[in-house]
Structure 1
Amino acid sequence: MPDARPDDTDLPVQRQLTLDLGTPPPATFDNFFAAGNHEVIARLRELEGALAAGPVADRTFYVWGEPGSGRSHLLQALTHEANGHARYLSPQSALNAFGFDPRVTLYAIDDCDRLSPAQQIALFNLFNEVRAHPTSALVATGNDAPLALTVREDLRTRLGWGLVFHLQPLSDDAKASVLKHAARERGIVLAEDVPGYLLTHFRRDMPSLMALLDELDRFSLEQKRAVTRPLLRAMLQQTGRAAPLASIATDDPPAQTPAADSACAAPDNAPTRFK
């Protein structure tokens, strides 16, 4: 008779609590690093209140930027702070979720460029419904400006009708600041040299950097140690990723290799608020 495999109830209580503590904080406007994007943040932050106060001239928005620019973060912040009157939609959403509901004030549609043909038709219809109802608004995001989007022509035209904002990419200094701020939110004791080291030796896009920080957060809680370069090395060894990054123990910055690049990358289809 084979040995019974222990289920989650057999894990030590302390370990379960430690894993629970590693949950990243929700996306908000306060924890979005504005950089050069103050106008779009102000517009989105005030949108729900403006709708409640009366007629709003600009009720459709399209926000675009490169991967890691924070498009998903802004949409999730919008829905998080909308008091239950917003609906977040993405390529993973069911087709019927794109239907208009008069009880929904804000529609937030992520990754328009990845919507299926049927979802694109549904979004086109939703866009028209929102335009016909002055108490609702729609905010969509994509990876390129409206004219360059690989979507239906009629949907591309609709997305360009309203206000269009291009999210400015973060500099390396800004990315380091984001990592430090995210660490403080999680209560992580982060060594001063860790953000710069991550930017030098790993993938530099924010989804990958934040995925690595979240992994370090969980590992540091389990180990009850501050996040330092030795802790990073220990985590990589435990997860079987130490070989491509063996030089991490030295102070000489090695050239980034494809193996190191892929080892710490966030999967392209992984849900993240840092797109």
Structure 2
Amino acid sequence: MNRQLLLSVLPESAPTLANFVPGPNQPALAAVRALAPGRALYLWGAAGCGRTHLLRALASVPGARYITAGMEARAALPALAQSDAQAAMPTVIAVDDIHLMDDAGQAALFALYNRWRESAATGRAFALAVAGDRAPLAMPLREDLRTRLGWDLVYGLAQLSDADKLEALGRQAAERGLQLSPEVLNWMLTHYDRDMRRLATLLDALDRYSLATRRPINISLLRTMLADPDIHTK
């Protein structure tokens, strides 16, 4: 097999509910799993806490829609909020990074909340999931929109502890049949990155590199791989 082909690192795995590492956020994950048409959910937390992962996972099902703040929101949100009352809506609408929304985006999201509430008890109900970096009362938004963030479910997401991340990495390694020492796992966490999706990508690359070079996985191999110009894990 061509070595370069073997060593080509796949893009980061798509976010799913199955590959989300909940740590202390198990209640929020359970709420996301149970989110049904007619319900709304607001997730908040600092960058890296997993809110985007959860929204993208929610929106990965057929008929769902993921929207980010910015130009996309300016076009998509008004179209959804103002569409014909009889028009089919996405089963799930996930709106991310609302703390970055301008006035027009906030107005459109306010209208979408009203549309969600009006349809909640009908056959045209849809689930609405929204995420931002702060708790509802602390959001820098227009007042009427800020109150709507608390209309239904609200969950704050905590950052994973290093122990949670090490446990998750160890579990992912075991699922691949890899025997990684605690030293290797700790090195990955302290010298490479603390983001779980990037760490999972590194683990994938390390597995491939070990197979290609026929060398056991240890810190020396990990250092060599990261210094290899043919390997792109960043």
Q: Match of 1:4?
A: none
One of 73, 84, 97 as aligned partner of 2:76? 97
CA distance in 2 between counterparts of 1:47 and 1:74 reads 12
Q: How many equivalent pairs are there? A: 216
Aligned pair 1:34/2:22, yes or no?
A: yes
CA distance in 2 between counterparts of 1:236 and 1:17 reads 16
Q: Match of 2:180?
A: 191
CA distance in 1 between counterparts of 2:216 and 2:12 reads 17
Matched residues, percent identical? 36
Q: Which amino acid aligns with 2:8?
A: L
Alignment of structure 1 residues 1-275 onto 2, 5 Å:
15-16=4-5, 18-19=7-8, 22-48=10-36, 51=37, 56=38, 59-80=39-60, 82=61, 84-91=62-69, 94=72, 95-98=74-77, 99-100=79-80, 102-134=88-120, 135-183=125-173, 187=176, 189=178, 191-193=180-182, 194-204=184-194, 206=195, 210-215=197-202, 217-218=204-205, 221=208, 224=212, 225=215, 227-238=217-228
Instruction: Say if 1:190 and 1:226, in contact at 8 Å, map to a contact too.
Output: no
CA distance in 1 between counterparts of 2:167 and 2:91 reads 33
**TM superposition shift of 1:162:** 2.0
**TM superposition shift of 1:213:** 4.4
Q: Which amino acid aligns with 2:154?
A: V
Greater RCO (CA < 8 Å, at least 6 residues apart): 2
CA distance in 2 between counterparts of 1:111 and 1:190 reads 38
CA distance in 2 between counterparts of 1:154 and 1:127 reads 10
SS of residue in 1 equivalent to 2:43: strand
Distance change >3 Å, CA 203–CA 73, structure 1 → 2: same
SS of residue in 1 equivalent to 2:140: coil
Q: Which amino acid aligns with 2:103?
A: P
Q: Which amino acid aligns with 2:96?
A: D
**TM superposition shift of 1:69:** 1.5
Per-residue CA deviation, residues 35-64 of structure 1 (Å, 9 max, x unaligned), is 23233222221224xx3xxxx5xx121111
Runs (5+) with no aligned partner, structure 1:
1-11, 240-263, 267-275
Distance change >3 Å, CA 39–CA 14, structure 1 → 2: same
SS of residue in 1 equivalent to 2:18: coil
Per-residue CA deviation, residues 192-220 of structure 1 (Å, 9 max, x unaligned), is 2322223333554x2xx532542453365
Distance change >3 Å, CA 215–CA 38, structure 1 → 2: closer
CA distance in 2 between counterparts of 1:14 and 1:203 reads 26
SS of residue in 1 equivalent to 2:8: helix
**TM superposition shift of 1:87:** 0.5
CA distance in 2 between counterparts of 1:236 and 1:26 reads 23
Instruction: Say if 1:188 and 1:226, in contact at 8 Å, map to a contact too.
Output: no
Instruction: Say if 2:65 and 2:94, in contact at 8 Å, map to a contact too.
Output: yes
SS of residue in 1 equivalent to 2:59: helix
**TM superposition shift of 1:88:** 0.6
| TM-score, normalised with respect to structure 2 | 0.77
**TM superposition shift of 1:141:** 1.0
Q: Which amino acid aligns with 1:31?
A: N
CA distance in 2 between counterparts of 1:42 and 1:180 reads 23
**TM superposition shift of 1:26:** 2.5
Runs (5+) with no aligned partner, structure 2:
none
**TM superposition shift of 1:106:** 0.9
SS of residue in 1 equivalent to 2:225: helix
Distance change >3 Å, CA 121–CA 180, structure 1 → 2: farther
Instruction: Say if 2:13 and 2:201, in contact at 8 Å, map to a contact too.
Output: no
